[in-house]
Structure 1
Amino acid sequence: MWTEILDVATPAIVALFGALLTAIINSAAATLKAKTGIEIEARHRDALHAAILSGVNVALSEGLEPSELLERGVAYAKRSVPDAIQHFAPSDDMLRDMVKAKAEQAIGRALPIQPSTLPTKEALRRG
Structure 2
Amino acid sequence: MKAEKKAPAGTGKWIRPPPRTLKLNVDASFVMEEKLGATGAVLHDFMGTFVHAKCELLPHVQTAAMAEAMALREGLKMVEEMGCHHIMVESDSAETIQALTATCEISSSYTTEPPEYPNPRPSAKNS
Q: State the TM-score, normalizing by the size of structure 2.
A: 0.28
Higher relative contact order (CA 8 A, sep 6+): 2
Greater percentage in helix: 1
Q: Which has the higher strand share?
A: 2
Using structure 1 for the length normalisation, give the TM-score.
0.28
